[in-house]
Structure 1
């Protein structure tokens, strides 16, 4: 039986609420009425400069994640090639032996989370890593390492963990945007691609994301779904499980702070891991590529290297490093989004090592 965990309630309940905010709440004012109200309400909730708060916030909104799995073909490793894990699953930080070691090592489930903060919103990126981007056809190109993910946009409304209002997912070289039911956001410069569905986990609603097998593009469920074999992952702050089979429907993934001691951001200059800014180092060893020339090198990206090639003013990596800018372009009304960061280690704002 899955235990029920409730979010912490004490901080907001014990705060001395300004009379104006209490009156606005009593009158049913919308979650954000301009930048001044966003700043007031944001001050009542947690601060992303605290690693403990970032972990709790990331857990609160972490996706229920459906991973489609293909067990066929010599590069599938009987389905293991589609399991999510951490970059150093094999005990080192080399990017050029992950394809090689995937078959012989355990692949417990981990997901990297990064939080940045403005007065109006929290932006949480979840990064799903696979050692292989693989295919079972001579007509497709494979490569070592694969990082794809989702940006969740959470409006700070005075409650401890805010309100989920939007999402942007990464599927190869394209981004896809979604809103949940009840969101105040509509399409901006980019059209909405669908609805962000949610489901109950531990007594709270969590968004549902899904990745395809082999290439691991990520979209909101059910735009991708499990077809036959597949793993259903659920978030945890303490437990990282390896699927018991390619059709395990109850696996915990452990969240890792991307800024922390086990994360990727502090290793962004490590040449063994990164070939260039935001691009994982990967080679052609270990049997990658069905025929010569069909294994790409240095082909996968960390979140500060993700890019949609045709979304105009949004630059490479800004889905993670400047998500407020992206949100104000992708969604409307743009006036809901403060673009001044109060915590953003990607831009050197705030202390990511605060307790």
Structure 2
């Protein structure tokens, strides 16, 4: 017999610090902190194919000529009030970094912080069931984990995956002339903030949850078939921010066609009602010197280019001469609202220009 869903009186999101998004530290603070570490960061060398110094989505260690081990972790506070859905979102988000490296998740452990004196353990059981549901869908074993007592609930996973060492996706592999494909709609940050403030329409919530719980497994496979070698998943640093990081690491610039970017239903309405999370505002401030927005781009769309996402889609580059259209068609046939959203160009490393359209 299943345990009961949490009582309506329990509003999980009210226990979260910050608003709306997955509450990552601002990109500016993280970059300053990592810069201070300098040579203390482990760079790729020998069988360590991707280390901390590369700033990619996960670490990668070569086991042999055919296998590379991928290691990643992610966890965050509640962004929806249904415990099981929160668990599903957090698990999909943690697994996503493995897909963003071109790998397959194989095993995971839970990471949990829980206010045991304030929230029933039945709620935590629902969170873990949600995570297990998504891991099972991914073919990934969940083998325990670690829980601490904490006044702010948090949940996520540490995940191990496998990939072929010669078939990895990496953020520094963009090439001039590449076509950029995004596999999911954006807007989870502003909609999550609306949820926290009791301002989200039911249809917005359903759409955002469906997007955040969709695995990036098929997207990763289709990206590989399209010849991609450069990819990332779009999370807290936003579409513009993650593209900036890819372009900077590759020594190139990039353009986004704002009118082509898929948006979640309710995202623009949420902004009109004032539901813009702190993470999104921080992205706009930090990226102001690296991201140029054409004045013709609507203001709310410009905000969404900087919106802090949770469990977003893959952003991958189809090499020049490749068939980005076929990749998009395959993604849409699999249920992804994918689109060609821009291109890689020459220019100042890391500079991103947001245009009105193609």
**Fold shared per TM-score above 0.5:** no
TM-score (norm 1): 0.27
Choose between structure 1 and 2: higher strand proportion: 1
TM-score (norm 2): 0.27
Choose between structure 1 and 2: higher helix proportion: 2
